[in-house]
């Protein structure tokens, strides 16, 4: 590989005069080389033992020496150089790229899953803070259900620097709507905004902030979906809503974003977008069907990933909800236009109805099994209403653990596996599996890059995992890289075996790049 036609300094400097055996090039490097070549920073040439190859071909084709031998040798050489060699190169490059893309999509899927299943911040009023300079910081306040309460624009950053005016306006909003947490986007002017917010909340007491990846927020803001959701809201303010909702319920918000814009993985912009989208669809479906959805708050985007529910039915559910008020029980879904019995059978177990008529509706127990669930509770001396009592729930859980499943399954005329599933749900009704995932790091202070020193030990959140390491947010503008060699004291073949997106980890600063404002990190503490 050599330098391309462009003269300026680039991210591809390390590849100038670079050589590597084809069978040893890691997938992320192949994609980097392809991008550098496309952007004309690199020229790629494949070196091969041409003389040896020609000798092998000649030996295979030319049998004995004749008056035509020389002509055949020249013909073979010409054919090789003009036709065979370029064809083989294209095949090798294509094969390498295909394998690299497959690996990149695999990495994307692995990263997307924990991101989608990140612990939600339930029951909190959130202020979304979309940082900017000249055009002002966009603000959106949403309640615990994701409903938009208020929007505004403030100018605490350059060039206006209206810090006092912005502080007065935001404190008034925080007090009016009892805001619990501020979600700050990590894009342009994030550092200055974080400084401002950190300073402001010192006056308020029980208010925290968290830095939220705003990858894809601007794409969503200008999308058709955002226009349908907020037709009367300025496009610039929709980004702040997305940032707030992303902290409150990552799964519900991230399903709206174009896969390549989510901000996890490696070279996701360069791979087959159809395959990338299919990968995300599979991951989202798994996540949704694992977690379930609140039928009264879920957006059409989220509902469409529920088993049996297409985009038309998802829109019909929301329309029915808007026209008739909150859905009180799952079987009410049968009143939704075009949602028949077969579809209901598929989707009902994944729908959750909180504060509904039947406590079993907050579980994954299918309506078809409600009678069995009630009979089971009756056996241990309880009623379905007791599932809402925390003290009784502890006893129910203990009693269920003593149940002899085989005998009880026969008694209730139900399969043993089905019975075990019901018992599991009754032991933790309404419990969100995402509660076991790492919570967002809530901050009340701020770090500047200038504060970082080699040897410092910090707590950070893993933002992305690639084949060559993990990027960790330690509270400064740019995420630091933990190279694969620094992930563990033991040999690490694949970074995803050690860390996942969303993990909260302790890291040590082992190097500081002043020019690029980036830190090199290690988990070998």
Write out the chain's pLDDT in tens, 525 residues. 555 556 556 677 777 888 888 888 888 889 888 988 888 888 888 888 888 999 898 888 888 888 888 898 899 999 999 999 999 999 999 999 999 999 988 888 888 888 888 878 877 899 999 999 999 999 999 988 788 999 999 999 999 999 999 999 999 999 999 999 999 988 888 878 888 998 898 878 788 888 888 877 878 888 888 888 888 898 889 999 999 988 888 888 888 887 777 777 777 778 888 888 888 888 888 888 788 888 887 888 889 989 899 999 999 998 998 888 889 999 999 999 999 999 999 999 999 988 778 889 888 899 999 999 999 999 999 998 888 888 888 898 888 888 898 988 888 898 989 889 888 888 887 666 666 665 665 554 546 777 788 898 888 888 889 989 999 988 777 789 999 999 999 999 889 889 988 888 899 999 998 877 888 999 998
| Burial 435-450, CB ≥16 within 10 A → b, else e | eebbebeebeebbeee
Distance CA 142, CA 388 (A): 27
Distance CA 209, CA 286 (A): 30
Return the pLDDT at 341.
93
Cβ atoms of 198 and 445 within 8 Å: the answer is yes
The residue assigned the tokens 């979309």 is 130
154's enclosing H/E stretch is: strand 148-154
Q: Enumerate domains of the chain plus CATH numbers.
A: 2-115 (no CATH), 126-265 (3.30.420.140), 288-435 (1.10.150.310), 449-522 (2.40.50.140)
Cβ atoms of 184 and 198 within 8 Å: the answer is no
The secondary structure of 363-383 as a DSSP string is: SS--GGGHHHHHHHHHHTT--
Give CB contacts under 8 A, 24+ apart, made by 20-26.
22/46, 22/92, 22/96, 25/96, 26/467, 26/468
Minimal CA–CA distance to 351: which of 312, 318, 300, 307? 307
Minimal CA–CA distance to 55: which of 70, 79, 73, 81? 73
C-alpha dist (Å) from residue 487 to 1, 405, 472: 30, 44, 11
Q: What is the pTM of this model?
A: 0.69
Q: Name the DSSP letter for residue 257.
A: S
Identify the three-state secondary structure at position 123. coil
Return the pLDDT at 432.
67
C-alpha dist (Å) from residue 227 to 221, 345, 490: 8, 33, 50
Distance CA 290, CA 434 (A): 9
């Amino acid at each position: 590989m050599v330098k391309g036609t462009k003269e300026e300094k680039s991210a591809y400097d390390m590849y100038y005069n670079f050589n590597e055996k084809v069978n040893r090039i890691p997938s992320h490097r192949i994609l980097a080389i392809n991008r550098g070549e496309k952007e004309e920073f690199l020229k790629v040439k494949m070196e091969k033992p041409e003389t040896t190859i020609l000798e092998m071909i000649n030996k295979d084709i030319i049998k004995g020496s004749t008056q035509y031998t020389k002509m055949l040798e020249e013909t073979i050489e010409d054919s090789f150089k003009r036709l065979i060699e370029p064809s083989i190169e294209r095949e090798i490059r294509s094969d390498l790229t295909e394998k690299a893309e497959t690996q990149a999509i695999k990495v994307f899927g692995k990263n997307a899953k924990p991101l989608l299943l990140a612990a939600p911040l339930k029951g909190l009023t959130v202020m979304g803070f979309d940082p900017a300079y000249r055009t002002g910081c966009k603000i959106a306040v949403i309640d615990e259900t994701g409903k938009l309460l208020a929007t505004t624009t403030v100018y605490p950053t350059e060039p206006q620097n209206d810090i006092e005016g912005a502080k007065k306006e935001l404190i008034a909003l925080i007090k009016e709507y009892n805001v619990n947490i501020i979600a700050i986007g990590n894009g342009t002017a994030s550092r200055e905004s974080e400084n401002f917010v950190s300073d402001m909340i010192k006056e308020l007491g029980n208010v925290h902030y968290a830095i939220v990846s705003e990858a894809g927020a601007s794409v969503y803001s200008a999308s058709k979906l955002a226009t349908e959701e907020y037709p009367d809201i300025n496009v610039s303010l929709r980004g702040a809503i997305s940032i707030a909702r992303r902290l409150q319920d990552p799964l519900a918000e991230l399903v709206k974003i174009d896969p390549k814009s989510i901000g996890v993985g490696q070279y996701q912009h360069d791979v087959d977008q159809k395959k990338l989208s299919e990968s995300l669809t599979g991951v989202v479906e798994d996540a949704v069907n694992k977690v379930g959805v609140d039928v009264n708050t879920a957006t059409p985007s989220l509902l469409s990933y529920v088993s049996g529910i297409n985009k038309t039915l998802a829109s019909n559910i929301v329309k029915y909800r808007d026209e008739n008020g909150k859905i009180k029980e799952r079987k009410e879904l049968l009143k939704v236009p075009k949602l028949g019995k077969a579809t209901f059978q598929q989707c009902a177990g994944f729908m959750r109805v909180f504060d509904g008529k039947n406590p079993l509706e907050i579980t994954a127990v299918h309506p078809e099994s409600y009678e069995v669930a009630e009979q089971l509770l009756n056996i241990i001396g309880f009623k379905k209403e007791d599932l809402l009592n925390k003290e009784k729930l502890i006893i129910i859980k203990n009693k269920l653990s003593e149940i002899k499943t085989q005998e009880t399954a026969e008694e209730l005329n139900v399969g043993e596996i089905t019975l075990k599933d019901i018992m599991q749900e009754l032991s933790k009704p309404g419990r969100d599996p995402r509660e076991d995932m790492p919570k967002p790091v809530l901050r009340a202070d701020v770090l500047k890059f200038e504060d970082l020193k080699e040897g410092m030990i910090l707590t950070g959140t893993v933002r992305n995992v690639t084949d060559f390491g993990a990027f960790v947010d330690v509270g400064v503008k740019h995420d630091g890289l933990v190279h694969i060699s620094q992930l563990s004291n033991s040999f690490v073949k694949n970074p995803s075996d050690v860390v996942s997106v969303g993990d909260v980890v302790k890291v040590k600063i082992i190097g500081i790049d002043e020019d690029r404002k980036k830190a090199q990190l290690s988990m070998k503490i």
